[in-house]
Structure 1
């Protein structure tokens, strides 16, 4: 005999089914480039707060894979010589910004009395490459789930703001493609938002920003070693961002193998779609619970640290570059 389904249970199933349809529908819009990266991010924020995220369990893995895939794909649209030139020009600024951010972040954390491990994760995320740096540093300092999620929440909130604010500020200040590319690579936390903002500004800005940001990501290794010493965790496993090697390989193929020109534009197009979906998924993590769980002190530390590095980077590029 067939058991009669409870009305509440049936309603929950219908609700979940509707959530899945809406969620997949936005991803389809991203696939056909109907919505831009900033709108995709905003759509994720709106959907998760109105309907919820039916695929939350898979979100983190999907973001990680799609971001790495997209970055490698963007390498097929870049020239190695130009990238090396951009990397050289941004090297000293990169080193200065990373260490000044870590020092100022440590002082801010002590002043605001932010929990030590959370403070360090926010500082590393701001200094190097956002969520990727936090994911790499978290096991080194053996942070718990709450400490890691708070730091990620701060970074993702500020990334969402940066994606909209930086291109507007860049145009208001009449920054060149080169200046904007350097500035957003130094000042925006996550690679996804750096690429999204730079892509909106122009092709040259995109190449400079992506190259400089990925060069910054390599600092995960020495900073992880330094962190292990400071936190006295000798047995910590250090994560190496191997996908950066694939990005360099894609760039070399595009520069020195003429046959690559046949498929390169299509790969770049797919990579940009992947980036748009990534930003949508990041937006879909920013629900009200995330905002509430962050807390005032960590958020203040993130904001002050962000203003510090964005202001310092801008002054350095405009007056010392």
Structure 2
């Protein structure tokens, strides 16, 4: 009787051991992405024009295509790592944005930004179809060109449910024109005899990534660099309404959502993920002064977490995906970048801001 009444105790510990074992690949995946991010950050300091985000993607793509997709992305649960890191990085990034900066320091540039943003988003959406570019990649290229490169693409990608190859290719396209801008923008500025504020406004509205804006504008003059940084800060803050706007437009952009019959409130809850709400709340907290002196540290943390996420994106990408996309996205990136740059110059000339 006693033997049947008291079953062996060790059997109860088996589920705990099984759960612990099942998480080992995920922990290993996080460790691999963190190591890649650390290497990318170190390399980015030596090559600031290229930057850690693009280096992390390149390292990830190289590893997964040399070792094989199944041993890396499949077994190490890299997809989970990239999804969590993207969302966490964007929420932390929100705590570094001050919505008041738009009103206090960027009000003069807002009309110009509104025009360039409208053109920079409309062009890829309308023209990209004729180039055979998927609608998600069109949105990502438009967002990356008009807002802030890799960070904007990372913020929008989960809302669009973009594939990792689309994210990697879009960031690569933006990077190419970042490099080009750093080289040719100061040359064009001197050729056109732009004032310091005129060049700062132009580069702040037309160069994609923050690092490239700073590099191009300070190469022109210290005054241009300072002004461009303010304009770029204003432009970056606009990531909030644009990501929310894309979320609301998802039923019209995505055929799968178009078929769903839900009310507006239901659509909002379905297409705007929870992390966007946290992103907005974090930005509001910083605007109200609740973040305080921790903001610079959080900015560094957000950047690193996003680099970890982009390393995971690279680890999920195949060379054949890049080859299969063709030259359409690159041509679309060129056209979008040209539209934004030219429209910015035209409006500045018309309003005597050059």
TM-score (norm 2): 0.61
Displacement, 1:104?
0.6
Q: Distance in 2 between matches of 1:37 and 1:215?
A: 28
2:328 maps to 1:301: yes
1:154 to 166, 169, 177: 169
2:287 maps to 1:252: yes
Q: 1:303 to 1:55 in 2, by over 3 A?
A: same
Q: Which residue of 2 aligns with 1:242?
A: 277
Equivalent position SS for 1:285 = helix
Q: 1:153 to 1:233 in 2, by over 3 A?
A: farther
Q: 1:280 to 1:78 in 2, by over 3 A?
A: farther
Q: 1:288 to 1:242 in 2, by over 3 A?
A: closer
Displacement, 1:316?
0.4
- Is the Cα–Cα contact under 8 Å of residues 160 and 283 in structure 1 kept in the other structure? no
Displacement, 1:303?
1.0
Q: 1:231 to 1:267 in 2, by over 3 A?
A: closer
1:206 to 232, 246, 257: 232
Q: Distance in 2 between matches of 1:173 and 1:151?
A: 32
Of stretches 270-279 and 97-106 in structure 1, the one that deviates more from structure 2 is: 270-279
Q: 1:281 to 1:171 in 2, by over 3 A?
A: farther
1:24 to 27, 31, 35: 35
Q: Deviations over 1:71-117 (max 9, x none)?
A: 431338946322444334311332233223211112222xxxx6xxx
Q: Distance in 2 between matches of 1:122 and 1:22?
A: 24
Displacement, 1:320?
2.4
Q: Which residue of 1 aligns with 2:139?
A: 124
Q: Deviations over 1:41-80 (max 9, x none)?
A: 3542454356556673412321221133124313389463
- Is the Cα–Cα contact under 8 Å of residues 72 and 250 in structure 1 kept in the other structure? yes
2:109 to 86, 96, 99: 86
Q: Distance in 2 between matches of 1:283 and 1:172?
A: 34
Q: 1:279 to 1:121 in 2, by over 3 A?
A: same
**Structure 2 alignment gaps of length 5 or more:** 1-23, 65-71, 144-151, 190-197, 218-224, 262-266, 349-354
2:341 maps to 1:314: yes
Displacement, 1:126?
2.1
Q: Deviations over 1:120-158 (max 9, x none)?
A: 1111222335344343234xxxxxxxx834422321322
Q: Which residue of 2 aligns with 1:221?
A: 247
Displacement, 1:306?
0.7
Q: Distance in 2 between matches of 1:307 and 1:75?
A: 31
- Is the Cα–Cα contact under 8 Å of residues 158 and 303 in structure 1 kept in the other structure? yes
Equivalent position SS for 1:130 = helix
Q: 1:137 to 1:131 in 2, by over 3 A?
A: same
Q: Which residue of 2 aligns with 1:141?
A: none
2:303 maps to 1:272: no
**Structure 1 alignment gaps of length 5 or more:** 1-12, 139-146, 189-193, 255-259
Q: Deviations over 1:263-287 (max 9, x none)?
A: 6454124313421442354145335
Counterpart mapping for 1:33-48 below 5 A: 38-45=50-57, 47-48=59-60
Displacement, 1:238?
1.9
Counterpart mapping for 1:128-207 below 5 A: 128=143, 129-138=152-161, 148-174=163-189, 176-184=199-207, 188=208, 194-198=209-213, 200=215, 202=225, 203-207=229-233
Task: Give the aligned length.
Answer: 274
TM-score (norm 1): 0.67
Q: 1:101 to 1:181 in 2, by over 3 A?
A: same
2:317 maps to 1:282: no
Q: Distance in 1 between matches of 2:40 and 2:323?
A: 34
Q: Distance in 2 between matches of 1:223 and 1:75?
A: 26
